[in-house]
Amino acid sequence: MSTIRLTVIDREGVSHELEAPTDMNMNVMELCKSAELPVEGTCGGMAMCASCHCYVEDAASADLPEKSDDEEDMLDEAFHVEDSSRLGCQLHLKDDMDGMVIRLAPVG
Amino acid sequence: MAAGVETTFAAQTIMIQTDILIIGAGPCGLFTVFEAGLLKLKCHLIDALPQAGGQCAEIYPKKPIFDIPAYPEILAGDLVDRLMEQAAPFKPGFTLGERAETIVKDDEDQFIVTTNRGTVHRAPIIAIAGGLGCFEPRKPPVDRLEEYEDRGVEYIIKDPEFYRGKKVVISGGGDSALDWTNFLADGVASEVTLVHRRDGFRGHPDSVQKVLDLAGEGKIRLLTNGEVVGVDGEEHLEGLTIKHKTEGDIRLETDHWVPLFGLSPKLGPIADWNLNISKNAIEVDTFDYSTNVDGVYAIGDINTYPGKLKLILCGFHEATLMVQSAFKRIYPDKNLVLKYTTVNGVNGF
């Protein structure tokens, strides 16, 4: 599969069904930006700003990679952090993410 | 007069004069020095960080970059070193560790830029190469927090003596939170509490162990799995509400709260310079990367235009075109001919 579908729920609660290629080395932050969703991605994807902080709504169903130390460090300094918190820039789009639901965390 | 630039400037005695005043000493700002130097224009750079290199030096000096032409791979820190070497013949000036704060125009069509420490610079051209902006402390989203800033809430510990004999609560799980907890608990503050969202700490293992030891000895109060969610007090901070995962809300009396959640980039004072801003970036004309204020240019990550790519190599291109336009603005009667370095070499100042 080279295209998957993700649902991104924005900060107003609106769901966006996005189609995403898995062979473009993209991550969730970049996907949101390309769909013009309000994700800043200030640091460019180096896990250094938490502006792409999101919640993976169905974490159990997705075989997500473990958080790196960099991601854990950044989430330590972020706000509104929950168990399902991830940095979108560290979630590289893969076939087994098909159907994943992501909710954008509040800004700040 | 250029749009939005005030003309009320009182004469200062000490002033740094240059041709192009560059705000931001990252890769793009440094390469501007070289390109301007080829046109015999002098540059001075201001940066809020204490060293040149911007993010490359401050945040990811050991990360490799793979899209700098002719360098299949180069560490960000090494790139900065090379750019400094390339700029050196043109003897740039630096005002480091200071943030460009205000801009006004004098009656000779020159810009006066003053830093937060009062250093005054004067130039006919301003090149804003500010990257992501200034790095400022990340403020937790707590209601009425602003009311207590400098009235018990501080985001940076400037002088630990300020906390002598006081009750202090520190929030955060990184090195600065751990180090300051250890320092203030060593006979400085009367009472130290460290609040952290998780059980684990990401700081240096020695610092973590010291904090755990101090907590075990009853010398500090360690509140993990908790977050400060409320501040209270009359004129000054008097207490905090902490939401604890298992114990519910806890109120702590304190004189100070120091939330240490790292830094995040903000556009900073430039946002008030009457420049057209779109999505935290300065709008420019791609003809010469000029802004809406005549004589002020913006290059690199801080600008925006249709098709913008935030890449170092694009910043280099923007800097090169920008100095050509700057030259024509400074010397409207002089002809400018592109000269190749292979023909003329690099003739420094």
Domain ranges of chain B: 16-136+264-344, 145-261
Q: B137, B160 in Cβ contact below 8 A?
A: no
Range of the domain at A45: 3-104
Q: Cα angle at B321 between B53 and B129, to 5 degrees? A: 30
Q: For chain A, how long is the longest CA-to-CA vector?
A: 36
Q: A49, B264 in Cβ contact below 8 A?
A: yes
* B8 pLDDT above the threshold of 50: no
Calpha distance A31→A24 (Å, rounded):
10
The total number of structural domains in chain A stands at 1
**pLDDT value for B2:** 44
Rg, Å, chain A Cα set: 12
**pLDDT value for B4:** 46
Where does B145-261 sit in CATH, by number? 3.50.50.60
Share of chain A above pLDDT 70, in %: 94
B215-247 pLDDT tens trace: 999 999 999 999 999 999 999 999 999 999 999
Paired with B113 in beta bridges are B103, B121
B290-314 pLDDT tens trace: 999 999 999 999 999 999 999 999 9
Token pair, residue A62, equals 């997705």
CA distance B243 to chain A (A): 12
Calpha distance B84→B53 (Å, rounded):
9
**Mean pLDDT (whole number) for A56-82:** 83
A9-38 pLDDT tens trace: 999 999 999 999 999 889 999 999 999 999
User: With 0-12 CB in 10 A as exposed, 13-18 as middle and 19+ as buried, what is B237?
Assistant: buried
B155-177 pLDDT tens trace: 988 899 999 999 999 999 988 89
Reported ipTM: the value is 0.78
Calpha distance B338→B341 (Å, rounded):
10
Which sign does the torsion angle of CA A28, A29, A33, A39 carry? Answer: positive
Which domain CATH number covers A47?
A: 3.10.20.30
* B91 pLDDT above the threshold of 80: yes
**Mean pLDDT (whole number) for B185-210:** 93
Residue ranges of B 97-136 with Cβ closer than 8 A to chain A: 132
**pLDDT value for B115:** 95
| Closest chain A residue by Cα to residue B63 | A46
* B1 pLDDT above the threshold of 80: no
C-beta atoms surrounding A104 within 10 Å: 20
pLDDT band at B3 (very low <50, low <70, confident <90, very high): very low
Residues of B in contact with A76 (CB under 8 A): 172-174, 197-198, 202
CA distances from B124 to A22, A26, B21 (A): 50, 43, 8
Residues of B in contact with A108 (CB under 8 A): 139, 141
B30-47 pLDDT tens trace: 999 999 999 999 999 999
Tell whether B197 is within 8 A of chain A (Cβ): yes
* B143 pLDDT above the threshold of 90: yes
Residues of B in contact with A48 (CB under 8 A): 59-60
Which CATH topology does B16-136+264-344 take?
FAD/NAD(P)-binding domain (3.50.50)
Q: A94, A54 in Cβ contact below 8 A?
A: no
CB neighbour list of residue A59: distance below 8 Å, 6 or more residues apart: A83, A84
Using a cut of 0.90, tell me whether the model's pTM lies above it. Answer: no
**Among A78-87, B15-24, B89-98, where is mean pLDDT lowest?**
A78-87
C-beta atoms surrounding B116 within 10 Å: 15
